Structure 1
Amino acid sequence: MSDTKLLSLSEIFNNKIFRIPDFQRGYSWEERQLEDFWEDIQNLSPNKIHYIGLLTVEPIKESDILNIEKWKDDLWLFKKGLSAYYVIDGQQRLTTLIILLHEILRTFSDDKGINYGQKSEWIDRFLYRSYNSIYKSFVFGYEKDNPSDEYFKTKILEQESSTADKYPETLYTANLMFAKKYFAKKLKVLNKESKESIFDKVINRLKFNYYEIDDSLDVYVTFETMNNRGKSLSHLELLKNRLIYLSTLLHEDDETKGRLRRDINETWKTIYEYLGKNKDNPLDDDTFLFNHWIMYFTYDRSQSDVYAEFLLKKKFTSKNVLCNKISIEEIKAYIDSLSKCVKQWFYIFNIQYSSYSSRIKEHIQKLERVGWGAFPPMIMAVFTKESNEDLIWDFLDACERFNFLVFAISHRASRYCSKKCV
């Protein structure tokens, strides 16, 4: 890495643009993290600085993205002398800061100054730059194939986009909106001077340890190593990064590897769309991964989180790819199964949204009342592979009878979910 620098947001956003790459997780901060963050800002004295953590970035060479479709709309920024970077570590804090800055700026009219600068100057520096007064390139955001990209632009930064409706809402986009509303509520009760004080703290007095990764480091391995601070990455989030990394190591042509990478991204879009589809009943990502592992591979309770140990340390490893012990066909089959099964996993716990008949819905509701026992992975498999409702009904009926007799009548404790509860 390059030498560390302790820099403020104003110093970091100095003719630079930042993108969150596709192997990164989305925005995961919830109320607890936002409360701690807001309290830190409130308690910071105007003449003091506050260390906010590590910001690790990877420089993006113009030559590497010149022919990549998703970068074409932003290439003009390079001609303007700006440099581009991928955010490898620190994206949660950085995203939070940008949301807060936007919420502060939107409370000021266009002709009003703030902290000795025009509102337009701060927008140009931290949010987006305009080309020909029509097209905008965003200073900070996600790569274009990330479902959070359009949501961040249109719902969080409130800008127009012709493709805004093409991307689903996910658990991550729900977190983005929660942060936006959280800060809007906090700022609503503050006067102009208080908001200017917070603005000054955010851009000048919160300091990052700023690192730029050099070419000798593997960015995917660096991400796995560094991103276990703050709110820990889920195993599902780590698995996405691992599979994208493995796609670069496969003994295949670049077009094939690129297509697999796109398929991995599409799979995770689908996963997080369905896990967060019911905002009143969001589903846990690692619980889904655990149950899918039982269904797809095997069940072993010999140690805690054995499913993650298997997926990340035994199955999907660089050694297995380099030694030809795992093929592109195996990876493709696995992610295809994840994509299909997450939809059925959603319907198991939100059966009212399914197209199943009333008798199937009634049986699922009965199972909910009696207790799931060890059957969710099996139900997911049946829902995914079987279309005959008579057979599905017979299976659910057997599950209900078993759980009622074993757990309700005999009062035996179910061992299902001793490590991961549904």
Structure 2
Amino acid sequence: MANFLDSKTQTYNDLIGNGKIYKVPRFQRDYSWSEEYWEDLWFDILSLEEEPVHYMGYLVFQTKDNEEFEIIDGQQRLTTLSLFSLALIKNIQDLIDENIDSENNKKRITALRNQFLGYTDPASLIPTSKLFLNKNNNDFYQSYPLCIRTPKNIRILKKSEKLIWGAFEYFYKRIKEEFKTKMSGLELANYLNKKVARNLVFTVINVENELNAYKVFETLNARGVKLSTTDLLKNYLFSIVAKRSSTELDQAERQWTSINTDLGNTDFPTYLRHFWNSRNKLVRKQSLFKEIKKQVQSAEQVFALLNELEDLAPIYVSFSNPTDSSWNKEQTKHLQTLKLFRIVQCYPLLISAFQKLEKNQITNLLKDCVTISFRYNIVSGLNPNSMEDVYNKTAIKVFQEQFKTSTDIFTETKALYVDDETFRNNFSTKIISTKRSKKLVQYILIGIENQIGESNFDFLTLSNNITIEHILPENPLENWEETFSIEEQENYIYRIGNYTLLESKKNNLCATKNFEEKSKIYETSKFHLSSKKTDFAEWNPDTLRERQNQMAKIATTVWKINYA
């Protein structure tokens, strides 16, 4: 275990108040905290007046000698705490400028700098830092905040430099306001040294290499602690390119920014894994970094990876937001349906298909993915993780051009296609709550309605006039207890067989009426599900099940792959 990681709890004073150096890897993302995060930290610090300690979360460092540490995760917090310390020192400097306890305050500044920021060279009087930022931010940090120098023209600073300076000014003003009635060098020094530094607590994890760091990230992410595995990968890839030239490093930086801009809110590690699995043997997320390190070891390989990731990022995003010109109307409908199902296991296959298949074959494939997912996931509720292996093997064959048609692809994916009898049986007893999945219920009812009524309603563009009617009402009156006991009501209200489509005004008329009264309204509906498929003398568990069995038979013909 010692070779893997070392974990311990440390105060900010334990962490920074020693002779150790902390460095942000040169390729890690720039400083990005804005006022929202500065304010959160400020309130965390203020909370120390009421609580003995405040927990600040995990920090992950990589070290080989226990003297110099690379910050794998935690640079935003450590940088901001450093800026807080500098802002506090600036307030003490103001007292010196006002000739208030000057000699003692000069000593306090020296002591605080040595403790939390670094020492000042006695000859050049230039501060030497305990904290070094990345290649884009370090020069600015060392030249301005660390030296408490104001930039000549803040407007021309880079975005991250403006944020660094903004954080310094934010804490400078907050500290001045907080101590306006008790401003003294002694109070300020004690606040940083005794209150803040000794009562902010971190869980510190030290690892020996990037692979161990990645394993730590995955473990913590699984526990709900979100760490930046993306930064770790970026550091690895850029470290390879940096060995060649700064020009190529700039190119890699441009491509990395482009990829993340295109992805927007889409999770980068998930995209990377889906891309990787579209052409390589299946890799689970906990092994992805290891596989990339194994296969990407030269600058040429880095750029080959970045080129493809950059080219495909907009397409990947459009899988879950298919609004661009890459997709026709029918393809858009199928992608929107997969989004409704919350199905992403087929994305590696779709990546390969987009690159290798003709457009009409992509349309067929998308339709098949919808049908497979509806039978496998939505109705049968089978384990989605089992789909990954099948889709991975299929994606590789598509990428290698062994499969060129949707029919070819189905020879592999048919393992996921639930047979008619099993599907019909599962559909016959399916419960889907309209409280949680109203759009999904609409989709199912529209699919059946289009089949029996030979209509062409589009669930994506349903008007407000098309509503879901609960034949047994969601909130039934006592008269319904004659046909459904209280227990039966709970079991049957959200059965698919209890749903029908109805015009909005007619739905309002139905309300909680009894079935005999509702039937007369159903007869006038334009929807066959209501006018033709509710023709029962009464509505009870038996007739509900009978209707759902009928719907199951129809569903078997709606969600069907014809070459199965």
Give the TM-score category using the shorter length: 0.5 to 0.7
Relative to structure 1, is the Cα distance of residues 241 and 217 closer, same or farther in structure 2, using a 3 angstrom cutoff?
closer
Q: Which letter does structure 1 place at the counterpart of 2:139?
A: E
CA offsets 1:182-218 (integer angstroms, 9 cap, x no match): 1122123223256456423221221222332246963
For 1:21-420, list aligned pairs within 5 A. 21-45=25-49, 48-61=52-65, 83-109=67-93, 111=102, 113=104, 118-134=108-124, 135-143=126-134, 146-158=135-147, 169-189=157-177, 190-191=179-180, 192=183, 195-196=188-189, 198-199=191-192, 200-214=194-208, 218-219=212-213, 222=216, 239=230, 241-246=232-237, 258-259=243-244, 263-264=248-249, 267-268=252-253, 286=260, 288-290=261-263, 305=266, 309-315=270-276, 318-319=290-291, 322=294, 328-332=299-303, 335=306, 374=324
- Whether the aligned pair in 1 keeps the contact of 2:62 and 2:70 (CA below 8 Å) is yes
What residue identity is the alignment partner of 1:122? Answer: L
Contact 1:57 1:212 in 2 (8 A): yes
Of the structure 1 ranges 193-202 and 104-113, higher mean CA displacement relative to structure 2 is found in 193-202
Q: Distance in 2 between matches of 1:257 and 1:120?
A: 37
In terms of Rg, which structure is larger? 2
Query: Offset of 1:130 from its aligned partner?
Result: 2.9
User: Structure 1 residues 188, 208: closer, same or farther in 2, change over 3 A?
Assistant: same
Distance 1:224 1:26 in 2: 22
**Separation of aligned partners in 2, 1:141 and 1:229:** 30
Deviations 1:251-277, CA, capped at 9 Å, x for gaps: xxx8x77227984466437976xx9xx
- Cα gap change, 1:203 to 1:85, in 2 (>3 Å): same
Amino acid at match of 1:245: Y
The code of the aligned residue for 2:263 comes to F
The unaligned stretches of length 5 or more in structure 2 are 97-101, 278-287, 312-322, 327-459, 462-564
The question of whether the paired residues in 2 share the 8 Å contact of 1:130 and 1:137 is answered with: yes
Deviation at 1:118, TM superposition (A): 2.0
Q: Partner letter of residue 54 of structure 1? A: Y
Separation in 1 of the partners of 2:83 and 2:224? 18
Aligned to 2:13: 10
CA gap of 1:339–1:126, structure 2 versus 1, over 3 A, is farther
| Greater helix proportion | 2
What is the distance in 2 between the residues matched to 1:195 and 1:269?
43
Q: Relative to structure 1, is the Cα distance of residues 185 and 306 closer, same or farther in structure 2, using a 3 angstrom cutoff? A: closer
Taking a change above 3 Å as real, the CA distance of residues 327 and 120 of structure 1, as seen in their structure-2 partners, is closer
- Amino acid corresponding to residue 207 of structure 1 in structure 2: V
Compute the displacement of 1:122 (Å): 1.1
Cα distance in 2 for partners of 1:122, 1:209 equals: 24
Distance 1:18 1:104 in 2: 21
Give distance in 2, aligned partners of 1:231 and 1:29: 18
Q: In the aligned structure 2, how far is the partner of 1:320 from the partner of 1:231? A: 23
Secondary structure of 1:183's counterpart equals: helix
Label 1:172 to 1:266 Cα distance change in 2 as closer, same or farther (>3 A): farther
Aligned partners of 2:21 and 2:130 also within 8 Å: yes
TM-score by structure 1 length?
Answer: 0.54
Q: Using the TM superposition, give the Cα deviation of residue 100 of structure 1 relative to its aligned residue in structure 2, in angstroms.
A: 0.5
- Give the C-alpha shift of residue 147 in structure 1: 0.6
In the aligned structure 1, how far is the partner of 2:170 from the partner of 2:109?
Answer: 22
* 1:116-173 alpha-carbon deviations (Å, 9 max, x no partner): 9621111122223233521542111214xx1111121223224689xx99xx954433
Return 5+ residue gaps in structure 1 as ranges: 62-81, 249-253, 276-284, 292-303, 341-372, 377-411, 414-422
The one-character-per-residue Cα deviations of 1:273-311 (angstroms, maximum 9, x if unpaired) are xx9xxxxxxxxx84x2338xxxxxxxxxxxx94876343
CA contact (8 A) 1:128 1:137 kept: yes
Cα displacement string for residues 215-242 of structure 1 (whole angstroms, at most 9, x for unaligned residues): 6963455457658999967xxx755532
Cα 1:27/1:228, change in 2 over 3 Å: farther
Relative contact order, CA 8 A, sep 6+: which one is greater? Answer: 1
- CA displacement at 1:97 relative to structure 2: 1.1
For 2:189 and 2:253, the matched residues in 1 are separated by 39
Per the alignment, in what secondary structure is the counterpart of residue 49 of structure 2?
coil
